[in-house]
Amino acid sequence: MYWSKALRITAITDRFTRDRFFRLRGSIKVLIDDDVPEDLRKRDKFWKVRPFLDRILQGCKSQNRPECASIDKQMIPFTGACPYRQYLPMKPNPVGIKNFVCATADGTVLDFDLYQGSRCTA
C-alpha cells in the first residue's frame, strides 16, 4: 500500500523501493535453526515464528482482565503453503490457521493458542 498512488508516503517510497522491501521480507530470519532443540521442533509446529508469537501473547496477557470473557475459534486468513492450514466453512474466512482465542466482549484478545493438529496418536 505504501507504494500505491493513492496511499503513497514519499518519506518511505523515495528511500525504500518496493522490490527491496520484498527482497528483505523474503530473507528475514527470526531465529537461528541450530539454536532450537530437536524435541522442541517436534513439539511446536510453529517454532520458527514462536519468538513473534510469544511477544504478541505477552502484550495480550498484559491487558486488563474483565470478569466476563469468551473463548472461541478464530481463523487467521492464510492461503499460502502451510501444512497446518484448516478449513472451517462456517467462518467468514474459511481457510487459514485455526486459533483458539480468549477475548473480551469488545474483541480485545486476552490469550490465544494456535491449533497444531490433533495430539492424539491413536
- C-alpha distances (whole Å) from 116 to each of 8, 83, 93 are 39, 10, 18
Query: How many helices (H) does the chain have, and how many strands (E)?
Result: 4, 4
Supply the pTM of this predicted model: 0.69
pLDDT per residue as tens digits for the range 81-117? 888 899 988 888 899 999 999 999 998 999 999 998 8
* Cβ neighbours for 119, distance < 8 A, ≥ 6 positions apart: none
pLDDT per residue as tens digits for the range 56-81? 999 999 999 999 999 998 899 988 88
> 38-74 burial string, b = 16+ CB within 10 Å, else e?
eeeeeeeeebeebeebeeebeebeeeeeeeeeeeeeb
* Helical segments of 1-122, H only: 10-13, 18-27, 38-43, 50-61
